[in-house]
Amino acid sequence: MPVSILLLTLNEEQNLPACLEAIAWCDDIVLVDSFSSDRTVEIAEAHGVRVFQRKFDHFAGQRNYALEEVAFKHEWVFHLDADEVFTEALQKEMEEAIGNPAFDAWRVPSKTMFLGQWLRYSGMYPSYQVRLTRSPGFRFKQVGHGQKADIPLEKIGTLNEPYLHYSFSKGLTEWFEKHNRYSSDEAAAALAHRLSDSVDWAGLVSADPSRRRMAIRGLVFRMPMRPLLRFLYMYLFRRGFLDGRAGLTYCRLMATYEFMITCKIREIQTREK
């Protein structure tokens, strides 16, 4: 298939074998590593992956570095993380999508896997990220702890088939450490939204899922009691209770993450007084 794959890694020796096994069909896998101290690079090279290393600044920076500096074999690039697993159904749909000249990028949904199951409800399925992009010339811009496609919305299509996201594959300790970093980025983004002129009200009902998600995020940043509201939204409104114990645990974890963001917002405000 004429698609290259870009992987971002940092100490992913645990996740990388399963990730690479699922994309064994790809003849051009590029890995941008943030100077791992484990066997990540060794494993990648043993699978014939092209490895580059760059100090991590943020996700958009890593992806843009690869898009600017690496000569990919194919015009289309799929952006994947080591704790994510490609599916055969997604591969087939992607093969059809790249033949459509109307789009320069495609949003792809993901399934959040936790405690051995798919979180159908509490995992907010389907949520989308731009993962399939046409190079050269494509760029991302950093938003909070994630990234956003820096192209007109009308040039982005939507795929239906998801990839699997094992975000808890390294255990809860690693999850808390990672989300401690993420919460700092989100706190800064929340304050920036509060200083902006207005909420994107039209975006709240937009047909574009990325714009709708950003509009909701901008509105939520202005609301009180965010940790409680996030739990109630995920557990009751999105029916997370149907995911059983895993759903309850996940909703409580995400409410805790929201509380971390709230605490850091207050910390920044106090420091700036």
> Is the same domain home to 32 and 143?
yes
Is the pLDDT reported for residue 29 higher than 80?
A: yes
| Host domain of residue 19 | 3-165
Nearest to 155 by CA among 131, 128, 133: 133
> Is the same domain home to 158 and 191?
no
Domain end residue (candidates: 136, 165, 194): 165
> Is the same domain home to 47 and 161?
yes
What is the DSSP annotation of 4-54?
EEEEEESS-TTTHHHHHHHTTT-S-EEEEE---SSSHHHHHHHTT-EEEE-
CB 135 within 8 A of CB 55: no
CA distance 30 to 223: 41
Please, is 101 exposed, middle or buried when counting C-beta atoms within 10 Å of its C-beta (0-12, 13-18, 19+)? Answer: exposed
* CATH code where residue 47 lies: 3.90.550.10
DSSP state of 144: T
> Is the same domain home to 98 and 160?
yes
> Is the same domain home to 178 and 159?
no
The single-letter code of the amino acid at 33 is D
Mean pLDDT of 82-93: 96
Mean pLDDT of 178-198: 79
CA distance 202 to 199: 9
> Is the same domain home to 258 and 194?
yes
Q: Residue 248 belongs to what H/E stretch?
A: helix 244-272
Binned at pLDDT 50, 70 and 90, residue 263 comes out as: very high
Lowest mean per-residue pLDDT among 155-164, 178-187, 195-204, 261-270: 195-204
Is the pLDDT reported for residue 214 higher than 80?
A: no
User: What's residue 192's pLDDT?
Assistant: 76
Binned at pLDDT 50, 70 and 90, residue 91 comes out as: very high
User: What's residue 207's pLDDT?
Assistant: 66
> Is the same domain home to 134 and 206?
no
Mean pLDDT of 50-72: 93
Is the pLDDT reported for residue 44 higher than 90?
A: yes
> Is the same domain home to 151 and 196?
no
Is the pLDDT reported for residue 215 higher than 80?
A: no
Binned at pLDDT 50, 70 and 90, residue 58 comes out as: confident
State the sign of the Cα–Cα–Cα–Cα dihedral 238, 213, 110, 45: negative
Mean pLDDT of the chain: 89
Binned at pLDDT 50, 70 and 90, residue 34 comes out as: very high
Binned at pLDDT 50, 70 and 90, residue 208 comes out as: low
Domain end residue (candidates: 148, 165, 182): 165
> Is the same domain home to 82 and 9?
yes
Binned at pLDDT 50, 70 and 90, residue 136 comes out as: confident
Q: Number of C-alpha atoms within 13 angstroms, CB side, residue 24? A: 6
> Is the same domain home to 117 and 244?
no
Please, is 131 exposed, middle or buried when counting C-beta atoms within 10 Å of its C-beta (0-12, 13-18, 19+)? Answer: buried
CA distance 207 to 107: 13
Mean pLDDT of 159-185: 94
User: What's residue 199's pLDDT?
Assistant: 64
Mean pLDDT of 33-58: 96
Number of domains observed in the structure of the chain: 2
Binned at pLDDT 50, 70 and 90, residue 139 comes out as: confident
> Is the same domain home to 146 and 177?
no
CA distance 158 to 156: 7
Is the pLDDT reported for residue 197 higher than 60?
A: no
Domain end residue (candidates: 165, 190, 221): 165
Mean pLDDT of 241-265: 96
Lowest mean per-residue pLDDT among 4-8, 31-35, 210-214, 260-264: 210-214
> Is the same domain home to 181 and 128?
no
